[in-house]
């Protein structure tokens, strides 16, 4: 929930009078309500209408017309100035955690979740401790600084917990799949809102990626995508990949979308922007859209047995 009274209080302490609001796609419908509360409190408000999927894509361009940007739904990836974060914490009934117990085989487990629920890690740990299960949650690094926090581009907290069985608490299928691929651990995913529990299998995902790599092997040329979004930009990686083949070319752009890429006409694209684009959005692209590690397999510098999920470190 967005606590607008608390936000107004926080903004007043900064001395800002002109404020921009940036929401990820799933929270954009809150924009009008939050803007109205701030306007009533005397602030000049601008809403960023551009697409946003993470704190890797801050609306810093708006700082030309406002004092501060309030970014909702994520925690900081770096120390970009003049940004206030509201991670949009979400509670759930801890009783739902009991649904995971029959699916766990160990009494020592790793615990990971997304930023919406990291404030609940102590309560989750306590819940399992009282039932004889010890949860280990680790810090994942600067991109995901809360203990137990994972991002779609960063699974350090899962790796660092050092457990062979990991419980993911949260919504969606991508994060637990990423945890499984990044760690090789047995991963149990509990969705506390749908009240579903699943033991994650990456088999189908890997089969589809293998098929895609086989198609990519026949490509006439490769566009290596380099995004201009600073929090996703991996120039060194992109330049290293371009050097792997004579028929690979660097393509710099801001928004990575099928429409943008279609006219360029490459027969395969390699994604160095947000890792999730290559995995989640393949169906939207008319040609293979592969990860850096998949491109290495195509080039023969990595084997499929050493498949790795793409992360930004
Ligand atoms: S790069 Fe992708 S997964 Fe990582 S924070 Fe940005 S939008 Fe999220």
Q: Judge if the beta carbon of residue 273 lies within 6 A of ligand 1.
A: no
| Mean pLDDT score of the chain | 96
Apex 36 CA angle, 35 and 40, nearest 5 = 115
Query: Residue 56 C-alpha to ligand 1 middle, in angstroms?
Result: 6
User: Which atom of ligand 1 sits closest to the CA of residue 143?
Assistant: 5
Q: Judge if the beta carbon of residue 150 lies within 6 A of ligand 1.
A: no
Distance CA 206, CA 163 (A): 23
User: From atom 3 of ligand 1, which residue's Cα is the shortest distance away?
Assistant: 152
Domains by residue range for the chain, with CATH: 4-86 (3.40.50.11840), 94-199 (3.40.50.11850), 203-306 (3.40.50.11860)
| Residue 5 reports pLDDT greater than 90 | yes
Contact (Cβ atoms closer than 8 angstroms) between residue 190 and residue 97: yes
Distance CA 291, CA 272 (A): 7
Q: What is the pLDDT of residue 281?
A: 86
* Alpha carbon distances (Å) from 23 to 17, 30, 111: 19, 8, 27
Distance CA 299, CA 313 (A): 23
User: Which atom of ligand 1 sits closest to the CA of residue 77?
Assistant: 5
Q: Judge if the beta carbon of residue 71 lies within 6 A of ligand 1.
A: no
Strand partners, 290: 270
Query: Residue 151 C-alpha to ligand 1 middle, in angstroms?
Result: 7
User: From atom 7 of ligand 1, which residue's Cα is the shortest distance away?
Assistant: 54
Distance CA 279, CA 156 (A): 19
Nearest CA to 18 out of 70, 58, 57, 78 is that of: 70
Q: Judge if the beta carbon of residue 152 lies within 6 A of ligand 1.
A: yes
User: From atom 2 of ligand 1, which residue's Cα is the shortest distance away?
Assistant: 274
What's the pLDDT tens digit per position in 36-61?
999 999 999 999 999 999 999 999 99
HEC per residue, 96-124: HHHHHHHHCCCCEEEEEECCCCHHHHHHH
Query: Residue 119 C-alpha to ligand 1 middle, in angstroms?
Result: 20
Query: Residue 277 C-alpha to ligand 1 middle, in angstroms?
Result: 9
* Alpha carbon distances (Å) from 167 to 101, 216, 276: 10, 34, 21
Apex 270 CA angle, 267 and 274, nearest 5 = 140
Distance CA 88, CA 144 (A): 15
Q: What are phi and psi of 180, to 5 degrees?
A: -65, -45
What's the pLDDT tens digit per position in 69-114?
999 999 999 899 999 999 999 999 999 999 999 999 999 999 999 9
Q: Judge if the beta carbon of residue 274 lies within 6 A of ligand 1.
A: yes
What's the pLDDT tens digit per position in 19-35?
999 999 999 999 999 99
Query: Residue 150 C-alpha to ligand 1 middle, in angstroms?
Result: 11
Q: Judge if the beta carbon of residue 232 lies within 6 A of ligand 1.
A: yes
Contact (Cβ atoms closer than 8 angstroms) between residue 290 and residue 268: yes
| Residue 217 reports pLDDT greater than 90 | yes
Average pLDDT of the residues in 192-202: 97
Query: Residue 152 C-alpha to ligand 1 middle, in angstroms?
Result: 6
Apex 170 CA angle, 117 and 115, nearest 5 = 35
What's the pLDDT tens digit per position in 71-81?
999 999 989 99
């Amino acid at each position: 929930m967005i606590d607008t009274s608390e936000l107004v209080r926080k903004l007043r302490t900064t001395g800002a009078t002109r404020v921009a609001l940036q929401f990820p796609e799933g929270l954009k419908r809150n924009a009008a309500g939050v803007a109205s509360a701030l306007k009533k409190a005397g602030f000049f408000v601008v809403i960023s209408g551009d697409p946003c999927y993470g704190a890797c894509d801050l609306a810093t361009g708006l700082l030309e017309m406002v004092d501060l940007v309030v970014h909702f739904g994520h925690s900081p990836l770096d120390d970009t100035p003049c940004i206030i974060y509201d991670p949009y914490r979400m509670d759930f009934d801890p009783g739902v955690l009991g649904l995971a117990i029959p699916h766990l085989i160990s009494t020592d487990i790793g615990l990971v979740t997304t930023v919406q629920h990291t404030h609940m890690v102590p309560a989750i740990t306590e819940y399992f401790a009282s039932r004889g299960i010890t949860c280990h949650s680790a810090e994942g690094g600067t991109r995901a600084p809360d203990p137990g926090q994972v991002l779609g581009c960063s699974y350090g907290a899962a790796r660092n917990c050092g457990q062979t069985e990991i419980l993911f608490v949260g919504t969606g299928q991508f994060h637990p799949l990423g945890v499984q691929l990044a760690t090789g651990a047995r991963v149990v995913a509990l969705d506390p809102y749908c009240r579903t529990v699943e033991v994650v299998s990456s088999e189908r995902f890997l089969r589809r990626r293998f098929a895609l790599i086989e198609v990519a092997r026949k490509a006439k040329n490769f566009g290596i995508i380099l995004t201009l979004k600073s929090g996703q930009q991996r120039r060194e990686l992109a330049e290293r990949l371009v050097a792997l083949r004579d028929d690979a070319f660097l393509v710099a752009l801001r928004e990575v979308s099928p429409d943008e890429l279609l006219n360029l006409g490459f027969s395969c694209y390699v994604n160095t922007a947000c890792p999730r684009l290559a995995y989640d959005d393949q169906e939207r692209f008319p040609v293979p859209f592969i990860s850096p590690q998949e491109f290495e397999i195509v080039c023969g510098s990595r084997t499929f047995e050493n498949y790795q999920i793409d992360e930004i470190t």
